[in-house]
Amino acid sequence: MIRVAMLSFWHVHAKDYAKQINEHPDTEIVAVWDEIAERGQKEAEARGVRFYESLDELLAQPDIDAVVVDTPSNMHRDVMVKAANAGKHIFTEKVLATTIREANEIVAAVEKAGVKLTVSLPRLNDGYTLAIQEVLNQGLLGELTLVRARLSHGGAVANWLPAHFYNLEQTGGGALIDLGCHPMYLTRLFLGLPESVTANYGYVTGKEVEDNAVAVLRYPNGALGIVEAGFVNKFSPFTLELHGTEGSMLFGTPDNRIVLRTSKLGEEASKSWTVKEQPANRATAIQQWVGHIRNNTVASENIALALDLTKLMEASNLSVQSDQAVKLSELAQEDAARWV
């Protein structure tokens, strides 16, 4: 068994990851630490495992193999570098870090220690993403000219998000860095890294962080990526649009099906929309992480996309602060090509 410690229950998905760890035949939860001791103690007692008040003491235990990190985002760098230095495998909620400098420091520590890192980017594994990639690989859209991706809910107007999700220091941002991560890494997957990012944030409910956000990714060939996210939209469906010189593809507007129209399959195919079959989902991020631990492999694509996601989020925040486009080349970064 891979013996796992849960590091914090700050994030709303922490209990979901704990459930997946308990359900996986090769993993078990053996310990809990939390930056809020009362919360951590309660979760440890519910699971019948030991609670550690000291993170350093927990990481020093030889009978703990791995950790799941769900701390506030501004703690990710310090917690994960410590965990890697202690030889613990790491699964973490997105974002890896709020700046590319900190994300690179995490990855460097992981690489030096030889531990296995996987970041939760779950929509990479969904059938619609796999189907879209297949269409793109076949060239059925021609040259991509526009990708629009949107994910939104009404958590800020219905008041079901935890209050600490509006804490700018802890989160590094609001709707974009939380929900917007998913459409952002998908847009990056489909279009690659852009030349620059321009973002605009709205504050509908007057919180410290944005609850309405749009980021526009600009590419040297004229293509654009539009990433949208919000906490103030009650019935907004998850939406993907991909448009190219030879065709278009839509998902989630509002049905969870993919429709395709292309001139690459003949005149008849260009006249109407057809439904594209979606394959089964791939293994979950937790399952992939366990596989990397068991097989001594590296989550290369996952890590590369996680690093790029941090670049794009940092660029978006800087764009709002400066009220102008931010070139990715201006960010502090180092070559991550080895992860591709």
Q: Is 14 helix (H, G, I), strand (E, B) or coil?
A: helix
pLDDT at 224 > cutoff 90:
yes
Q: For residues 315 and 330, what is the distance between their CA atoms, to the nearest angstrom?
A: 9
Q: For residues 219 and 217, what is the distance between their CA atoms, to the nearest angstrom?
A: 7
Q: What's the DSSP call for residue 149?
A: E
Q: In Å, what is the CA distance from 145 to each residue of 23, 115, 244, 260, 321?
A: 42, 39, 5, 16, 28
pLDDT at 247 > cutoff 60:
yes
Q: How many CB atoms lie within 10 A of CB 310?
A: 29
pLDDT at 337 > cutoff 70:
no
The predicted structure's pLDDT at residue 336: 41
Name which of 6, 194, 203, 187 is nearest 88 in CA terms.
6
In whole numbers, what is the pLDDT of the chain averaged over residues?
95
User: Are 52 and 58 in contact, with CB atoms under 8 Å apart?
Assistant: yes
pLDDT at 110 > cutoff 70:
yes
Q: What's the DSSP call for residue 328?
A: G
Q: For residues 126 and 121, what is the distance between their CA atoms, to the nearest angstrom?
A: 10
Task: Say what the pTM is.
Answer: 0.95
Q: Which residue has the tokens 């469906």?
A: 237
Handedness of CA 43, 47, 49, 55 (dihedral sign): negative
Q: Which one-letter amino acid corresponds to residue 249?
A: M
Q: How many CB atoms lie within 10 A of CB 59?
A: 22
pLDDT-above-90 percentage for the chain: 94
User: Are 27 and 47 in contact, with CB atoms under 8 Å apart?
Assistant: no
Question: Is the pLDDT higher at 253 or at 55?
Answer: 55
pLDDT at 218 > cutoff 60:
yes
**253 pLDDT tier (thresholds 50, 70, 90):** confident
The predicted structure's pLDDT at residue 332: 61
Name which of 150, 151, 164, 170 is nearest 226 in CA terms.
150
The predicted structure's pLDDT at residue 334: 42
What ranges in the chain are assigned the alpha helix state H?
A: 14-23, 37-47, 55-59, 76-85, 100-113, 127-137, 155-158, 168-171, 175-178, 181-191, 285-295, 300-322
Upstream peptide bond of 95 is cis (omega within 30 degrees of 0): yes
Question: Is the pLDDT higher at 330 or at 282?
Answer: 282
pLDDT 10s digits, 119-143: 999 999 999 999 999 999 999 999 9
Q: Which residues pair with 118 in a beta bridge?
A: 91
pLDDT-above-70 percentage for the chain: 97
Q: How many CB atoms lie within 10 A of CB 97?
A: 27
pLDDT 10s digits, 144-197: 999 999 999 999 999 999 999 999 999 999 999 999 999 999 999 999 999 999
Q: Is 279 helix (H, G, I), strand (E, B) or coil?
A: coil
Mean local confidence (pLDDT), 28-32:
98
pLDDT at 340 > cutoff 60:
no
Mean local confidence (pLDDT), 56-65:
98
Q: Which residues pair with 149 in a beta bridge?
A: 227, 240
The predicted structure's pLDDT at residue 338: 36
The predicted structure's pLDDT at residue 132: 98
